[in-house]
Amino acid sequence: MAKDSLTITDNRTGKSYELPIQNGAIRTADLRQIRTDEEDFGLMGYDPAFMNTASCASRITYIDGEKGILRYRGYPIEELAESATYLETAYLVLYGELPTKKQLEGWTHEVIFHTILHENVKKFIDGFHHDAHPMGMLVSTVAALSTFYPEAKHIFDAESRKKQTHRLIGKMPTLAAFAYRHSRGLPYAYPDNDLSYTGNFLNMLFKMTEVTYKPNPILERAVDVLFILHADHEQNCGTNAMRSVGSSHVDPYSAVAAAAAALYGPLHGGANEEVLRMLMQIGSKGNIPEFIKKVKAGEGRLMGFGHRVYKNYDPRAKIIKRIADQVFEVTGRNPLLDIAIELERIALEDDYFIKRKLYPNVDFYSGIIYQAMGFPMEMFPVLFAIPRTSGWVAQWEEMLLDSEQKIARPRQLYLGPAPRRYVPLDKR
Ligand code: ACO
């Protein structure tokens, strides 16, 4: 009779073991009973880069990489991108349900109420070089917030967690916008609480001498949808950093700084910046075949292509392509789009990419949109970090309240030298 278990025979000893299978997984800790003798530590799983290891159970985001499905708390990303706002989505990601009208009003008020920064934070930003990368500024200043809100270390106090959540979601756009204004040598523009979350973000970025900044509604909605698409993506590198660092019970600002640092890398949130550099380097459609040849020869990667989980298509990339058309009607067409479209066409017909299941990911088109809207490339990972903060905080809270979780501490396979005696300096 079929049973939800796995029987393993250890050919070293001839012994058999039955391990329970739950939710499609065995517990790797159950392997430890498989030992050659009393002295043996027990069998471990070896899984560099967590290719096949679930580090947690989660109820937040569902991805089916083969079918190209992404859902937050059960809701398809396509429906949220069509009908929800970012703040509504952030509430859903954080609290598990779509907010009622009253809940949304309360939540929006709390977030907007916390957009202002302590004036001293400006001094940190002032201290950076004029050409400092805004992501470096964001990582450092969000970490610095922990010193302004020392009560944030009471991570098992639900009220404190709620307060820090409002602050984090509220202040990330302000930190990001101030970093941008600093790099441009522009005076900081303060939050305008009469605007929407993304409208206010655009205000803090682009307000010049006008008394009241009025965001273009199409661009405001485009940024809002981009934010929805980036709210969470289960156990990616940044979220894994958030959970791992948070598992030491540090305050959430320090953990968000760690997650944002992970997002900074060119293989993660830095990819859309790299996509644009790549498109500029290619320069014209005629140079694409030569570029593809180099990628296939292992000389660099086709940035914005490939994903650890999506092996069919990235559903976010499809939505982004649609937004691009709307944005370009306002901003004019970004000439890099033609190179991107041709690059995608050629790559999708090429055996190398087909065989390896490499498709455009969320970053392939987002950079082109952001550039058309006037964002410098350095701001791209920052534009990713702002909405991802809701996902990071949701995952952090889920980790804290999960009785099975402990401080994250993987094992290793030691392959270094056997014991040996210290050699004095003059004998080496
Ligand atoms: N261009 C060319 N070849 C690629 C690419 C690419 N973008 N991505 C993967 N490959 C190749 C690899 O060389 C490898 O080929 P091989 O089997 O002949 O050695 C094969 O495809 C498998 O690649 P892995 O590196 O094993 O795949 P992994 O799951 O580890 O990497 C990643 C996923 C990091 C996203 C990778 O596809 C990549 O570097 N892409 C470019 C960077 C990028 O766009 N990152 C954004 C990801 S989305 C996000 O973070 C929001």
Does residue 331 share a domain with residue 214? no
Ligand 1 site-directed mutation target among 227, 232, 273, 305, most atoms within 8 Å of CB: 305
- pLDDT tens digit sequence for 331-345: 998 888 899 999 999
List C-alpha distances in Å: 403 to 27, 47, 62.
16, 24, 21
Nearest CA residue ID for atom 26, ligand 1? 308
Run of H or E residues at 110 = helix 101-113
- Predicted local distance difference test score (pLDDT) of residue 268: 84
For 42-79, the pLDDT digits (tens) are 999 999 999 999 999 999 999 999 899 999 999 999 99
How would residue 186 be classed by pLDDT, with cut points 50, 70 and 90?
very high
Q: Residue 391, Cβ neighbours under 10 Å: how many?
A: 26
In angstroms, how far is CA 294 from the centroid of its own chain?
29
Query: Structure tokens of 107?
Result: 């939540």
30 touches 19 (CB < 8 A): yes
The H-or-E segment that residue 284 falls in is none
pTM: 0.93
Residues 250 and 330 in one domain: no
Instruction: Please give the tally of structural domains in the chain.
Output: 2
pLDDT exceeds cutoff 90 at 260: yes
Is 177 in the same domain as 280? no
Amino acid at 427: K
Q: Are residues 233 and 361 in the same domain?
A: no
| Residues 226 and 349 reside in one and the same domain | no
Bridge partners of 71? 62, 76
Asked if residue 240 and residue 177 are part of one domain, the reply reads: yes
Residue 388, ligand 1, Cβ within 6 A: no
Residue 169 banded pLDDT, cuts 50, 70, 90:
very high
- Nearest 5°: CA angle at 315, between 239 and 76? 80
In this structure, is residue 72 part of a structural domain? no
Give dist(CA 166, CA 113) in Å, integer. 8
**Catalytic residue set:** 268, 307, 363
d(CA 271, CA 75) in angstroms, rounded, equals 27
- Domain-embedded: residue 410: no
- Give me the pLDDT at residue 117, please: 97
What is the rounded CA–CA span in Å between residue 214 and residue 211?
10
**Mean pLDDT score, 136-160:** 97
Q: Print the domain residue range for 282.
A: 271-306+325-372
Q: Looking at residues 99-110, what average pLDDT do you find?
A: 98
| 188 part of a folded domain | yes
300: domain CATH number? 1.10.230.10
302 ligand 1 Cβ < 6 A: yes
Q: Is residue 363 part of a domain?
A: yes
Q: Where are the alpha helices (DSSP H) in 197-246?
A: 197-206, 217-229, 237-246
User: How far apart (Å, rounded) are the C-alpha atoms in residues 147 and 218?
Assistant: 38
Q: Ligand 1 centroid vs 307 CA: distance in angstroms?
A: 6
Q: 233 and 295: one domain?
A: no
pLDDT number for residue 36: 97
For residues 114 and 154, state if they share a domain. Answer: yes
Probe residue for ligand 1, chosen from 301, 303, 312, 364 as the CB with the greatest number of ligand atoms within 8 Å: 301
Using CA atoms, how far residue 204 sits from 212, 324, 381, in Å, is 11, 23, 18
**Can you tell me the mean pLDDT for 14-22?**
98
Rg over alpha carbons for the chain, rounded to the nearest Å, is: 24
| Amino acid identity for residue 374 in this structure | G
330 falls within a domain: yes
Per-residue pLDDT band for 282 (boundaries 50, 70, 90) equals very high
Shared domain for 159 and 246, answered yes or no, is yes
Sorting pLDDT into bands at 50, 70 and 90, what band is 194?
Answer: very high
| pLDDT bucket at 322, cuts 50 / 70 / 90 | confident
Going along 59-152, which residue ranges are E strands?
61-64, 69-72, 75-76
CA 61, chain centre distance (Å): 13
Last residue of a domain, which of 355, 372, 389? 372
Instruction: Say if residue 172 is in the same domain as residue 280.
Output: no
Distance 306 CA to ligand 1 centre (A): 5
| Both tokens assigned to 173 | 């756009």
Q: Are residues 210 and 289 in the same domain?
A: no
- Strand-pair partners of 70: 63
C-alpha span between 25 and 285 (Å, rounded): 47
CA of 274 to the centre of ligand 1 (A): 13
213 part of a folded domain: yes
**pLDDT at 335 (0 to 100):** 85
- Could you tell me what percent of the chain has a pLDDT over 70? 100
Backbone phi and psi for residue 15, each to the nearest 5 degrees, phi listed first: -85, 145
Residue nearest to atom 8 of ligand 1 (CA): 306
Which residue's CA lies nearest to atom 38 of ligand 1? 306
Tokens 């517990």 locate to: 27
| Residue partners of 304: CB distance under 8 A and separation at least 6 | 271, 272, 274, 275, 278, 360, 361, 363, 364, 365, 367
Residue 26 lies in a domain: no
Indicate if ligand 1 lies below 6 Å from the C-beta of 267. yes
Residue nearest atom 14 in ligand 1 by C-alpha distance: 356
| Position 412 in a domain | no
Q: Same structural domain for residues 177 and 284? A: no
Is the model's pLDDT at 266 over the cut of 90? Answer: no
Is the pLDDT at 98 greater than 90, yes or no?
yes
Q: Report pLDDT for 64.
A: 94
